[in-house]
Amino acid sequence: MLYTRMVDDLPGGRVRILTQETQIGRPAVGPARQTPDPMLNGHQAWLDGPVRAASGRTGA
């Protein structure tokens, strides 16, 4: 499994988060076949954290 995340500071107080994920390799085989995909859900949960922090919100 490989993950790439890039955070860009944009004009106007905006931020862009670009992500890429591959689900290859032995550790990814089981989770990649599940619905919903736990790796994708974890990836989204990671994205939610920086968005909450940047907007000044806390908690889930």
* Domain assignment present for 24: yes
- Taking only the tens place, the pLDDT of each residue in 35-48 is 888 888 888 888 88
What pTM was estimated for this model as a whole? 0.58
- Among residues 24, 25, 18, the alpha carbon closest in space to that of 47 is found at 18
- Residue range of the domain that includes 36: 2-55
- Taking only the tens place, the pLDDT of each residue in 7-25 is 898 999 888 888 888 878 8
* Domain assignment present for 16: yes
pLDDT band for 55, please (50, 70, 90 cuts): confident
* Domain assignment present for 33: yes
Instruction: Indicate the number of domains in the chain.
Output: 1
* Domain assignment present for 13: yes
Cα-Cα end-to-end distance for the chain:
26
1, 39 Cβ separation under 8 angstroms? yes
* Domain assignment present for 60: no
* Tokens linked to 37: 């995909």
What's the CA gap between 20 and 7, in Å, rounded?
12
